[in-house]
Chains A and B, each alone.
Chain A
Amino acid sequence: MNNIWGIAALVFGVIVAFVAAQSFYTVDETERVIITQFGRPLDDVIDQAGLKAKIPFIQEVNRIEKRILVWDGSANDMPTKDKLYITVDTFGRWRIRDPLQFFLRLRDERSAQSRLEDILGSETRNAVARHELIEIIRTTKDRSPEVDPLLADVDISTLLPISQGRQRIEAGILEAASGKLAEFGIELLDIRFKRINYNDSVREKIYSRMISERDQIADRFRSEGAGEAARINGNKERELQTIESVAYRTIQKIEGDADARATDIYARSYNQTPEAVALYTFLKTLETYRTVIDRDTTLVLSTDSDLMSLMKAMEE
């Protein structure tokens, strides 16, 4: 007896639990819910998170993401307006603006992603083809680069000019794609270039250009070094010759002045009277004998000379 009641209670409990599970559902903060009745969605979208009730078995819960979602595009090769092949990797943020529309047209996120890929992929391709590479690379039109003072003279570190810039092109793609996505209940929030790289074939050319630019800088440095060294050397020569010639001039002046003074002193003294002149001449002659006559000198003295006159005659 007891057993039967127990089993009945258990079965009833299970049925109650099952019906309850079918009647109540929770809605997370991150989602909205569309209730479908025999597959047909009801117009009221459940937007508030919390515990909700529905008609069991008849109504079904379809959860639709409320948060911002990422669309990560695949990297594609495409040409720019200046015929450079680049690999472009884009991504965008989007969200489901109109859950009903979204549910009817796409049903789930996977089909949404492939639709995004189609539309954004082709809009990106269009935009890239309409612009030169530099427009996609640069953003700020009037930025002037900082220049390394060491490279200041080398005319190489310059930013190429742009008329649109990356952000405007991104905005253009966003605008073009937004209209097409709106009919799927999707709001595209933004699209950005994640990576832009040169295609392998272009890359080689870029490398060789970079190398030749660097070689130019290196040559410039070497030439500057040699030029500066030559300038310093020239400076040195000038300086040495200046020092040399100034010293020469100074020395000549000093010695000349001294000579002049000495000459003046001598002249004053030797020339003071006729007797002084005579004495000076006499003394100088004797002095000359002293210096001129040495061991190898042969002197022929006549007995008529002053010195030997006594040998001939005593009387004077």
Chain B
Amino acid sequence: MSQQPEMPDLSQLRPPRGVVPIAIAVVLLGWAGYSAFFTVPAESVGVIQRFGHYHREVDPGLNFKLPFGIDTVTLVPVKRQLKEEFGFSTPGAGFASQSSPPSQWALETTMVTGDLNIALVEWIIQFRIEEPFEYLFNVRDPGDTLRDVSESVMREVVGDRTVDEVLTIGRQDIEASAQVKLQEVVNKYEMGLRIDQIQLKNVNPPEPVQASFDRVNEAQQERERMINVARGEYNQAVPRARGEADQRIQSAEGYAIQRVNEAEGDVQRFDALLAEYLRAPEVTKRRLYLETFNEVLPRMKTKLIVDESSASVLPLLQLEAVGKGGSQ
């Protein structure tokens, strides 16, 4: 619009002869240089197509191709570890990691197991582009295809397992089988990819049944606890009872030794006495008798001596009782 008045100015400022071709030549050269040289980053290779036909593959560094769109280059990051995430997304992971929008996660993770239960499975696949030619020219949208195949394979593997295998003991087995199956499909379609690893992430029962799975865990703990308590009681009682029994046996042994020793002692003493006694039986007997009464009689408070010929014992006892009362 504003160019209209400038038009005559342009025609007046006629450039000197030869400037226009030079300018054109410079522009062409600049374009040629710009479109002929390119760099390939260290992690990639460049695939060059001449008029659309596959021409060659170039290594990382500064490279040359025919300019003006005769050769086109596509960079393929063959050395980069690529990742697809299913059912979740690692934030800020960038190009190397792909995941679906959160609205798809519930559908992606929900799987039916071989015992017709439901499990929620999150997983990732790590892969690399191994054959750039195959990757570019055999399958359109290899990334989407890989995601579809991965979902299908994971469900196939999970569908052959029980919910308990999926949730607990079968995880490694699932990872390994899914990797093998996925690689088979990828090879079949010559997608040029190499599956390095499949990893299961969170694997859970659906939210409404989560609580009952937790109850199973609690019950399992409870079982262990009950058994441990009983074992504890056993261990508390039995060794102690054993020790106490041993103690009583030992004390019985002590009794036995004591009993025999005492018997032997008694007998030795008796034998000694008997030997003496046999020498003078009458005197010894009397001596022992009197000694005993000598010892025993002073202990007694009440001693009555009665004469056979006198009256009965009774009056004397009564007297004693009265005397006792009076002294009180």
A binds B: yes
Q: Tell me if B148 and A215 are in contact (CB < 8 A).
A: no
Is there an interface contact between B289 and A265, defined as CB atoms closer than 8 Å? Answer: no
Are A240 and B305 touching (Cβ within 8 A)? no
Closest B residue to A192 using CB positions: B152
Q: A50-B50, A244-B245 known; A137 and B116 CB under 8 Å?
A: yes
Question: What residues of A have a CB within 8 angstroms of the CB of B313 in the complex?
Answer: 300
Given A138-B159, A229-B227, A303-B308, verify A30-B137 contact (CB < 8 Å): yes
Chain B residue at smallest Cβ distance from A67: B140
Tell whether, in the assembled complex, residue B114 and residue A300 are in contact, meaning their CB atoms are under 8 Å apart: no
Does the CB pair B263–A265 fall under 8 Å?
A: yes
* Distance in angstroms between the alpha carbons of A217 and B219 in the assembled complex: 8
Report A187-211 CB contacts with B as 1/0, cut-off 8 Å: 0010011111110000100110011
Q: Are B255 and A258 in contact (CB under 8 A)?
A: yes
Task: Check if A221 sits within 8 Å of B223, measured CB to CB.
Answer: yes
Name which of B77-85, B91-99, B123-131, B277-285 contacts chain A. Answer: B277-285
**Contact across chains for B227 and A228 when beta carbons are under 8 A apart:** yes
How many of A's residues come within 8 Å of B, CB to CB? 121
Residues A134 and B245 in contact, CB atoms below 8 Å apart: no
Complex CA–CA separation, A280 to B269 (angstroms): 11
Q: Is the CB of B140 within 8 A of A262?
A: no
A312 at interface (Cβ–Cβ under 8 A)?
yes
The winner among B115, B248, B264, B303 for most chain A CB atoms within 10 A is B115
CB atoms of A157 and B162 under 8 A apart:
yes
Cβ-defined partner of B115 (8 Å) among A158, A226, A228: A158
Known: A148-B169, A166-B156. A240 touches B237 (CB 8 A): yes
Residue with the greatest number of chain B CB neighbours at <10 A, chosen from A27, A137, A233, A259: A137
- B residues contacting the other copy or chain, number (CB 8 A): 111
Cα–Cα distance between A7 and B209 once the two chains are bound (Å) = 82
Bound complex: CA of A23 vs CA of B49, how far in Å? Answer: 20
Residue pair B162, A158 in contact (C-beta under 8 Å): yes
Partner of B137, one of A67, A261, A262: A67
Is B238 in the interface zone, CB < 8 Å from A? yes
Q: Is A254 an interface residue (CB 8 A)?
A: yes
Establish whether residues A68 and B223, one from each chain, have CB atoms under 8 Å apart when the complex forms: no
Smallest CB–CB gap between B281 and chain A, Å? 7
Contact yes or no, B299 A294, CB < 8 A: yes
A26-B296 in contact (CB<8A):
no
Query: Chain A 138-180 against B: per-residue CB contact (8 Å), 1 yes, 0 no?
Result: 1110010111101100001111100000110000000000000
A61–chain B nearest beta-carbon distance, Å:
12
Chain A contacts for B278, CB-based, 8 A: 275
- Taking CB atoms and an 8 Å cut-off, the chain A residues in 259-284 that contact chain B are 259, 261-263, 265-266, 268-270, 272, 275-276, 279-280, 282-283
Which residues of the partner chain B approach A307 to less than 8 Å between Cβ atoms? Answer: 290, 293
A:288-315 near B, CB below 8 Å: 289-290, 293-304, 306-308, 311-312
Which residues of chain B from 191 to 220 have a CB within 8 Å of any chain A CB? 205-206, 208-209, 212-213, 215-216, 218-220
Check B238 against A239 for contact (C-beta < 8 Å): yes
Q: Is the CB of A50 within 8 A of B52?
A: yes
Q: Which of B1-9, B33-41, B57-65, B228-236 contacts A (4 or more CB under 8 A)?
A: B228-236
The yes or no answer to B292 lying at the interface (CB within 8 A) is: yes
Tell which of A36-44, A110-118, A119-127, A245-253 binds the partner. Answer: A245-253
User: Given contacts A240-B237, A282-B285, are A217 and B227 in contact (CB under 8 A)?
Assistant: no
The docked-state distance in angstroms from the alpha carbon of A269 to that of B162 is: 88
CB neighbours of B220 from chain A (8 A):
150, 221
Which of the residues B54, B155, B164, B225 comes within 8 Å of A151, measured between beta carbons? Answer: B164
**Given A50-B52, A239-B238, A143:B160 Cβ within 8 A:** yes
6 residue pairs of the A-B complex, CB under 8 angstroms, read A27-B51, A197-B110, A214-B215, A225-B219, A244-B245, A262-B260
Binding site for B on A (CB under 8 A): 26-30, 48-51, 65-70, 72, 75, 89, 91, 93, 133-134, 137-140, 143, 145-148, 150-151, 156-160, 166-167, 189, 192-198, 203, 206-207, 210-211, 213-215, 217-222, 224-226, 228-233, 235-236, 239-240, 243-244, 246-247, 250-251, 254-255, 257-259, 261-263, 265-266, 268-270, 272, 275-276, 279-280, 282-283, 286, 289-290, 293-304, 306-308, 311-312
Q: Which residues of B contact A (CB under 8 A)?
A: 49-54, 107-108, 110, 112-118, 136-141, 144-145, 148-149, 151-152, 155-156, 159-165, 168-170, 173, 189, 205-206, 208-209, 212-213, 215-216, 218-220, 222-227, 229-231, 233-234, 237-238, 241-242, 245-246, 248-249, 252-253, 255-257, 259-260, 262-264, 266-267, 270-271, 273-274, 277-278, 281, 285, 288-290, 292-293, 295-297, 299-308, 313
Apart from A145-B164, A189-B189, A218-B212, 12 more pairs, CB < 8 Å: A30-B137, A30-B140, A137-B114, A139-B156, A166-B156, A192-B148, A196-B155, A229-B230, A266-B263, A269-B267, A289-B296, A293-B299
